[in-house]
Amino acid sequence: MSEPAPPARQSDLPIRTVAGVAMITVAIAALWFGGLIFWVLCAMLGLLMIGEWADLDGAPATQRRLARFALVAPLAIMAPPPIAAGPGFLALGLIGAAFFFIVIITRRPTLAAGAVYAGLPILALLLIRRQEEGVVFTLWTLALVWACDIGAYFTGRAIGGPKLAPAISPNKTWAGLVGGVIAASAFGAVMHVEYGLPWRLTLATPVLAVLAQGGDLFESWLKRRAGVKDSSHILPGHGGILDRLDGLVPVAPVAALLVILPKFYA
């Protein structure tokens, strides 16, 4: 997520807007088709995420490649049937196995944590998409983060005011947090009215918006610890994959639980 950029980067807004629209278009198209196409996109994102995580952790190139290799197995098993088992407990177990494999080989628990950081939200998104109303539920999960991001950026830019966490991310404000939560909540309400989003998900939307901004702050802390501005430069005007998905990382697993838990009590 982003809030008011420093003055030197204000000219990036047109590039950021075009790139953002392009990314959203690709994500929605893959979501609509689902199946193998959505899995391919998610798996690619997972591998890019753990690569950037390794860079932020200061891992050498050999360990970065090993971390990606370890995540291949759980990502592969998440492929839709009949290619593989699909998202489920087996994939969850393999994510845990990837964590321990990386720890054992590299002796770097912080690097191994990247397998969970990258693998768990991918598993959650694929699990949500395979539900009966998977398109609506996955769109809600993704777009509430987008709405929060956009609301935080423009509200923080317009109002400014006290900083949210100046030691971690100097540009984020309390006004941005409130604006992001309001924007996400409004989007959840629209989804409820127009697409029948269940009440439990609609009411959870503002909480998940706060969680999204927490994920953004965590990634900002990772970058500050690493001494870099962006997790990479793969996305024009946006930095890296982690810079765009940081809010989704904590939101997707919680959203998946909210979506699937009622089935266990039906």
pLDDT of residue 112: 98
Confirm whether 4 is domain-assigned: no
- Residues 91, 151 within the same domain: no
How many domains in the chain?
2
CA distance 234 to 239: 6
Q: Which of 73, 97, 130 is the last residue of a domain?
A: 130
- Residues 117, 144 within the same domain: no
Q: Which of 130, 150, 176 is the last residue of a domain?
A: 130
Q: Are 216 and 246 in contact (CB under 8 A)?
A: yes
Partnered with residue 165 across adjacent β-strands are: 169
Please list, in sequence order, all residues whose beta carbon lies within 8 angstroms of the beta carbon of residue 146, skipping any fewer than 6 positions away: 24
Confirm whether 196 is domain-assigned: yes
Q: Report pLDDT digits (tens) over 189-243.
A: 999 999 999 999 999 999 999 999 999 999 999 999 999 999 998 987 778 999 9
- Residues 114, 161 within the same domain: no
- Residues 165, 51 within the same domain: no
Tell how far CA 65 is from the center of its chain. Answer: 22
pLDDT of residue 11: 52
- Residues 141, 64 within the same domain: no
- Residues 145, 124 within the same domain: no
Q: Report pLDDT digits (tens) over 38-65.
A: 999 999 999 999 999 999 999 999 999 9
Question: What's the 3-state SS for 104-167?
Answer: HHHCCHHHHHHHHHHHHHHHHHHHHHCCCCHHHHHHHHHHHHHHHHHHHHHHHHHHCCCEEECC
Q: Report pLDDT digits (tens) over 85-141.
A: 999 999 999 999 999 999 999 999 999 999 999 999 999 999 999 999 999 999 999
Across residues 140-153, what is the average pLDDT?
96
Partnered with residue 33 across adjacent β-strands are: none
- Residues 165, 265 within the same domain: yes
pLDDT of residue 255: 98
Residue 265 has pLDDT above 80, yes or no: no
Q: In which band, very low, low, confident or very high, does the pLDDT at 2 lie, cut at 50, 70 and 90?
A: very low
Q: In which band, very low, low, confident or very high, does the pLDDT at 171 lie, cut at 50, 70 and 90?
A: confident
Give, in order, the Cα–Cα distances in Å from 210 to each of 49, 52, 164, 188: 22, 24, 12, 14
Confirm whether 66 is domain-assigned: yes
Tokens of 135: 């398109």
- Residues 114, 84 within the same domain: yes
- Residues 85, 199 within the same domain: no
Confirm whether 61 is domain-assigned: yes
- Residues 170, 145 within the same domain: yes
Q: Which of 103, 130, 157 is the last residue of a domain?
A: 130
Across residues 251-262, what is the average pLDDT?
95
Confirm whether 11 is domain-assigned: no
Confirm whether 221 is domain-assigned: yes
Partnered with residue 163 across adjacent β-strands are: 173
Identify the domain containing residue 236 by its residue range. 133-266
Confirm whether 15 is domain-assigned: no
Confirm whether 21 is domain-assigned: no
pLDDT of residue 4: 44
- Residues 203, 231 within the same domain: yes
- Residues 192, 122 within the same domain: no
Across residues 144-159, what is the average pLDDT?
94
Q: In which band, very low, low, confident or very high, does the pLDDT at 263 lie, cut at 50, 70 and 90?
A: confident
pLDDT of residue 46: 98
Task: Say which residue, 264 or 190, is predicted with more confidence.
Answer: 190
Q: Report pLDDT digits (tens) over 7-34.
A: 434 557 788 788 889 999 999 999 999 9
Please list, in sequence order, all residues whose beta carbon lies within 8 angstroms of the beta carbon of residue 188, skipping any fewer than 6 positions away: 140, 144, 197, 201, 202, 205, 206
